[in-house]
Structure 1
Amino acid sequence: MQTNTDLSLTQSKNFTDSYINIAAYKFITLDDTEAMRSIYQQQTLALSLKGTILLTPEGINMFLSGTRENIDTFLTWVRSDARLTDLEWKESISAEQSHKRMLVKLKKEIITMRMPLIKPELGRAPSVDAHTLKRWLDAGVDDAGKPVVMMETRNAFEVDVGTFNNTLDYRIDKFTEFPAVAAAHKDELEGKTVVTFCTGGIRCEKAAIHMKEIGYDSVYQLDGGILKYFEEVGGEHYTGDCFVFDYRTALNPKLEPTETVQCFVCRAVVTPRQQLAPEYVYEVSCPHCYQKS
């Protein structure tokens, strides 16, 4: 099996002047986040990394960009912490650093759900890897013959950039709305296998645990999220791109930046077609906020 490091070295053979972007998280009890913050700030500064690291009592989440050498040095350092030795990550490559500054933040949760009894560290919900999911979607059923249904856990504006075909999209505006939505639609999904998914795996991991607890009998999380699916099997059964929270805005199934941008004023997603509209003026307005400005 090819490791993260093996894959990264393979991907970067012809990109000696480019930057490596990583996304990584782990649900693990951290009771020293205040002390960790200053140490992580020092390490990222010394290695000229840019991005965001969230340190919380329930674990760590990071999006970082830097040179191949400095990213590898940082990951080796992070995994020297006994709590994080098995940290996994996803990678993409860009011509510029995908973030403009470096932030190390303290938060209460990796992703806010406000469901304190949901503790992925104590046991994950069942997961499905990218290759297995593709096989299920090819057939329309899982290995037990149950119809497979994809369920979004991302916010509506992210979904609009791209999603799996025929997915259940309940148009939530924030993740704290998901528990109520999942409960409201449980009965209509009886007898089906539901696969929750998100960008990198964090939201769908919490979502699937909650759904198991409220009585869904066949629910999985997509291991590694959309980005891992792109990395391993490409864009089959997916339409559009994947929204990411950095300057690139969206990645295509080849994990390449696209022409989609976010409005500087209202932060709405602006597609290449919408950028042709007269209402789109760089750093001034876009079709979403023009009438409100």
Structure 2
Amino acid sequence: MEKYQTLLYYCYSTIANAEQFAADHLKFCKSLNLVGRIIVAEEGLNGTVSGKTSDCKIYMDAIHADERFAKTAFKIDDVNEPSFIKMHCRYKSEIVHSGLKDTSIIDPNHQTGKHLEPVDFMAMKDDEDVIILDVRSNYEHNLGKFKNAITLDIENFRDFPDKINELAQYKDKKILTYCTGGIKCEKASALLLHHGFNDVYQLHGGIIKYGKEAQGKDFEGKCYVFDNRIAVDVNNVNPTIVSVCYNCGKTTPKMINCANPECNEHITQCDECGDLLQGCCKEECTTNPRKRPYDGTGYYVKVPHQVNKKTELVG
């Protein structure tokens, strides 16, 4: 039986002529028959790729052989099949869009929160002078989050800077930030420091690494991932489901994209409502002529049409 892996990684490191690098890197990934999604910017790389275990090793070795990315930490999952359908490698202005005009104030290579390994994060998170801060989007923390974590009402990370003032009451606390793989925390913690939060930490490797090294203790629900698995289990110690069906309120761990590509809303939805609404978030979406066939997964290949960019699952 063929063995596959999915690799989650990022690296903040200056890339000259990043647009050309993205084009060349796409060809390299395709030569290894990898599938996935990589963002390239002058500030570095942000990627999730999937393929045969042997090809993934070649890819990781090549990344580490480049001195710019030698310190890249890969989160590796063994999977039964590739976690994407296609390979995308795109150039963008940032590998995590901050929404800031002056991005120099959140350069992780100059200032960022103190990195906490999973076991250290676990040891600190319940202290009285600690605040656990989820820096992910609504649809992510609605699916799962750390027990007692503070969440922010944001659709995308670029909304995070506008929420800093809501956290002012915690300036005398230790702030432990976390996200899926660690990349958003690099900028979130830097921004908190810039705004006068003095004791800021971040979960190194994010929720994914915490699940592997600390068995996911006290992470409630599932972790949203940006591939066709959509959600993965994290907690092997005291697991629970916290998400509820968008339509009926029944407890469910399942997340989908609305089958109407012109809506494409991220929602948690039980199987019964999914079957009833044909994978749509509401009745009106079922009549859209471009509605995608619902196969029970709620995952769709990106369609060549303008969709709701706030909630785009793939591409």
Residue 145 of structure 2 corresponds to residue 157 of structure 1: no
Is the CA contact (8 Å cut-off) linking 2:172 and 2:197 kept in structure 1?
A: no
Counterpart-to-counterpart distance in 2, 1:68 and 1:237: 31
Is the CA contact (8 Å cut-off) linking 2:217 and 2:235 kept in structure 1?
A: no
Per-residue CA deviation, residues 184-206 of structure 1 (Å, 9 max, x unaligned), is 321x1133211111111111110
Is the CA contact (8 Å cut-off) linking 2:15 and 2:44 kept in structure 1?
A: yes
Counterpart-to-counterpart distance in 1, 2:271 and 2:209: 29
Q: 2:282 aligns with which of 256, 267, 289?
A: 289
Tell me which residue corresponds to 1:264.
259
Tell me which residue corresponds to 1:12.
none
Residue 187 of structure 2 corresponds to residue 190 of structure 1: no
Is the CA contact (8 Å cut-off) linking 1:27 and 1:121 kept in structure 2?
A: yes
Counterpart-to-counterpart distance in 2, 1:94 and 1:254: 18
Per-residue CA deviation, residues 218-256 of structure 1 (Å, 9 max, x unaligned), is 11111111111111112211110000111110000169x
SS of the equivalent of 2:65 reads coil
Amino acid at match of 1:156: N
Tell me which residue corresponds to 2:246.
none
Per-residue CA deviation, residues 112-154 of structure 1 (Å, 9 max, x unaligned), is 00331211122432121110111123xx21xxxx522111111
Is the CA contact (8 Å cut-off) linking 1:155 and 1:174 kept in structure 2?
A: yes
Tell me which residue corresponds to 2:40.
55
> RMSD over aligned Cα, in angstroms?
2.0
Residue 59 of structure 2 corresponds to residue 74 of structure 1: yes
Counterpart-to-counterpart distance in 1, 2:40 and 2:166: 32
Q: 1:240 aligns with which of 203, 221, 245?
A: 221
Counterpart-to-counterpart distance in 2, 1:94 and 1:269: 24
Tell me which residue corresponds to 1:106.
91
Is the CA contact (8 Å cut-off) linking 1:279 and 1:290 kept in structure 2?
A: no
Residue identity over aligned pairs, in percent, reads 26
SS of the equivalent of 1:113 reads coil
Residue 42 of structure 2 corresponds to residue 45 of structure 1: no
Gaps of 5+ in 2: 237-252, 287-315
Is the CA contact (8 Å cut-off) linking 2:140 and 2:224 kept in structure 1?
A: yes
Q: 1:30 aligns with which of 4, 15, 32?
A: 15
SS of the equivalent of 1:121 reads coil
Q: How many residues align?
A: 265
Q: 2:109 aligns with which of 100, 118, 121?
A: 121
Deviation at 1:269, TM superposition (A): 4.0
Residue 57 of structure 2 corresponds to residue 93 of structure 1: no
SS of the equivalent of 2:109 reads helix
Tell me which residue corresponds to 1:275.
271
Deviation at 1:182, TM superposition (A): 1.6
Deviation at 1:43, TM superposition (A): 1.4
Tell me which residue corresponds to 2:161.
179
Q: Give me the TM-score of the superposition, normalised by structure 2.
A: 0.78
SS of the equivalent of 1:173 reads coil
Gaps of 5+ in 1: 1-15
Amino acid at match of 1:224: G
Deviation at 1:55, TM superposition (A): 0.9
Counterpart-to-counterpart distance in 2, 1:194 and 1:18: 40
Counterpart-to-counterpart distance in 2, 1:249 and 1:196: 22
Tell me which residue corresponds to 2:249.
none
Cα separation, partners in 2 of 1:31 and 1:289, compared to 1, 3 Å: farther
Per-residue CA deviation, residues 21-49 of structure 1 (Å, 9 max, x unaligned), is 00111111111213312321221111110
Tell me which residue corresponds to 2:3.
18
Tell me which residue corresponds to 1:231.
212
